[in-house]
Structure 1
């Protein structure tokens, strides 16, 4: 029963946190183009102050080029501010305009995409319309599903082509006041994966023996609380952990309250002799 209430509270609390992150995502989409890096497939609008005839709406080609009035094809892949400065510079260098003031706006974002997979409520591909953090992307995907883990896996391609795998604890990312961490910003080509929640088992002198979801980092004390805590007959100083090893053998360990519980662990609370 206690664990059921925890699950309900977890869903409610994470929902509130994810709603806050989603609000930040929505707030960014209107004014983030200045820091956005233009890529192939994006649609843009180029305008020149005082020169309405030079306004153009075009799409970035696969090689990062766009057709600019009076200048022809120009390579503008990169930041919007740098692209606007490039166009203005070319107008001035070609003696077409003096003191050209160019504005460049992304009208459709299509080039920067991340995949959100695994145990989320709405998996899919997210088009980045500006700086987007890991928690904001998770909010876009509807948050973690009921059988998902709060251990998040980010897959990213390194400059040398290798796949880098990094794990994050969602609670730590959301609880910035207690433990400030650098914001995890997503990049084009990233994959965010939410695995299945693990399992652990309680047996012996606990109020509710059985199997429980290991959807967040737990120590032995917290795991026992999930089962309603030890009974009056329990010896809290005599908790055993049975843990399967890589070769298939089972190791018996004497557990301490702050020891980490791993996926598949069986916790047995012995009866007190007195």
Structure 2
């Protein structure tokens, strides 16, 4: 198991052990969610129901209350204020608990081990969602594409490097929180090719940053006949043409690069 897989496994455990109350406090309720309401000292007001399609909840005595877009704690405060302002109760202590999450869903597609629809049950980060999907598959890329639709219906595309995002979230910086309707897509892993005087020529996944020397090492290293000075790099250009470059050991390898290690003349 590599370091990236260990980090993702750790996040999967975090998803299981995150306190339920904390998840509730950060979750914005929506239509379809099922809730249970209790009022301290007033057992006859206990009710269970589903948030209506217009975002309202039917509450005993006071009727419908708009709760969509609020956390359960904020909605409980609002209901308590309505009980008091309507002279139903002098000092209302209301508790609202989400019993079934249904309103907020994120799609996770592409090269993950378990693609599917994740129902958000509280604040969920990008990396936690990837952990829920079983992590990136062997054919996947560390690039994560997030597609989000704004309030005006326009789609926005963002890209994140999963390794960097994991490191960032581990230090509680720059956490990417998911929203209802988000789509996460993991594309195929980048590839590079090595041929010529290397021990195991072939195609390899570019699953981490590599320079030319490291890429040759991935291909088993140079053979005894290889030149220690002559390696060619063929790189596709923006216009579709292929450019031949003289490869330097510390040159960064890009997706689609072809390296040819030449034979020594002596």
Q: Give the TM-score normalised by the residue count of structure 1.
A: 0.89
1:38 paired residue number: 29
| Partner Cα distance (1:133, 1:19) in 2 | 15
1:188 paired residue number: 180
Q: 2:148 aligns with which of 150, 156, 176?
A: 156
2:113 is aligned with 1:84: no
2:124 paired residue number: 132
The structural deviation recorded for 1:197 is 1.3
Q: 1:97 aligns with which of 74, 89, 106?
A: 89
1:146 paired residue number: 138
2:48 is aligned with 1:61: no
2:111 paired residue number: 119
The structural deviation recorded for 1:272 is 3.9
Contact persistence 1:151–1:215 (CA under 8 A)? no
User: 1:73-99 deviations in whole A, cap 9, x for unaligned?
Assistant: 110111222111110000000000011
User: 1:2-59 deviations in whole A, cap 9, x for unaligned?
Assistant: xxxxxxx44xx44322221011111236221011101111001111111010011010
Unpaired runs of at least 5, structure 1: 1-8
2:102 paired residue number: 110
| Partner Cα distance (1:159, 1:218) in 2 | 40
Unpaired runs of at least 5, structure 2: none
The structural deviation recorded for 1:236 is 4.2
| Partner Cα distance (1:166, 1:150) in 2 | 14
| Partner Cα distance (1:69, 1:98) in 2 | 16
The structural deviation recorded for 1:180 is 7.6
User: 1:150-175 deviations in whole A, cap 9, x for unaligned?
Assistant: 11111112344322212222222233
For these two proteins, the number of residue pairs brought into alignment is: 264
Summarize the Cα distance change of 1:62–1:257 in structure 2 as closer, same or farther, 3 Å threshold.
Answer: farther
Summarize the Cα distance change of 1:56–1:197 in structure 2 as closer, same or farther, 3 Å threshold.
Answer: same
2:202 paired residue number: 210
1:18 paired residue number: 8
Summarize the Cα distance change of 1:266–1:30 in structure 2 as closer, same or farther, 3 Å threshold.
Answer: same
2:219 is aligned with 1:242: no
RMSD: 2.1
Contact persistence 1:116–1:124 (CA under 8 A)? yes
Q: 2:43 aligns with which of 47, 52, 55?
A: 52
2:219 paired residue number: 227
**What SS does structure 1 have at the residue aligned with 2:20?**
coil
Q: Any runs of at least 4 consecutive aligned residues in structure 1 with deviations exceeding 6 A, and if so which? A: 177-180
Higher alpha-carbon deviation: 168-177 or 241-250: 168-177
Q: Give the TM-score normalised by the residue count of structure 2.
A: 0.91
